[in-house]
A and B are shown apart, each in its own frame.
Chain A
Amino acid sequence: DVKVTQSSRYLVKRTGEKVFLECVQDMDHENMFWYRQDPGLGLRLIYFSYDVKMKEKGDIPEGYSVSREKKERFSLILESASTNQTSMYLCASRKQGSTNEKLFFGSGTQLSVL
């Protein structure tokens, strides 16, 4: 079975901390995505990566950065966490060249910033 694994299901951090959210996929997919999910707002794209060491800003990149040093791993970094970054974060991946219905999602990380 294909798998997108997010390292933590729940995470609690303090304002100002540096936070790393990790995502690993075992499908040899080129493309990886980070979304945040908030009630009433749906899913909003933060960053995506077409391949190793490549990254593109999504719709709401402010306050975030990403790292893609290896094909299977895509990390989301909050340089200095703030309370408005409390959210559910979803990672997704897809094979290069596939249309978007081939997007595979992880189970999400619920981040609370206090």
Chain B
Amino acid sequence: GNSVTQMEGPVTLSEEAFLTINCTYTATGYPSLFWYVQYPGEGLQLLLKATKADDKGSNKGFEATYRKETTSFHLEKGSVQVSDSAVYFCALYNQGGKLIFGQGTELSVKP
């Protein structure tokens, strides 16, 4: 079946550090891939997406590249800020019309 696996958190970084949050997936066919972000006390918001192999999604300094050969969609940011502290969810869209989420990775950025 379809599934998404993320690296476990929490991840704690200092401001301006480089961020990587790993995400791998299992799916039949060619799913679309997403990163959602949940800031404290809020619902989820779409951060970025990629719909086919080798696509790169980007937004707010975050990037992720759809790697079919390694079934991965790792999230990266070159220089994190305190305001990036949140929970990040990797997700895939399967043809059944459902969005399947990973377990979430909590990021804490210290000044």
Contacts and interface: CB of A to CB of B under 8 A. Distances in A.
B101 interface: yes
A90 B99 contact: no
A47 to B, nearest CB: 11
B102 A99 contact: no
Q: Size class of B's contact patch? A: 20 to 34
Contacts of A42: 4, 6, 89, 101-104
Contacts of B97: 100
Contact of A108 (B32, B43, B49): B43
Interface residues of B: mostly helix, strand, loop or mixed?
strand
B46 A101 contact: yes
Interface in A28-56: 35, 37, 40-45, 48
A108 B6 CA distance: 22
B42 interface: yes
Given A41-B103, A58-B98, A4 B43 contact: yes
Most chain A beta-carbon neighbours within 10 Å: one of B4, B44, B49, B98 = B44
Contact of A105 (B34, B43, B49, B104): B43
B7 to A, nearest CB: 12
A100 B101 contact: no
Contacts of B99: 45, 100, 103
Interface in B29-87: 32, 34, 41-46, 49
Interface residues on A, range: 20 to 34
A82 B32 CA distance: 36
12 contacts: A42-B102, A42-B104, A43-B101, A44-B101, A45-B99, A58-B98, A92-B43, A100-B32, A100-B93, A103-B44, A103-B46, A105-B45
Q: 8 closest pairs, A vs B, by CB?
A: A105-B43, A42-B103, A43-B101, A42-B101, A100-B93, A105-B44, A100-B99, A107-B43
Given A42-B103, A100-B34, 20 more contacts: A4-B43, A35-B101, A40-B8, A40-B103, A41-B103, A42-B4, A42-B6, A42-B89, A43-B44, A43-B101, A43-B104, A44-B101, A90-B44, A92-B44, A100-B32, A100-B99, A103-B99, A105-B43, A107-B43, A108-B43
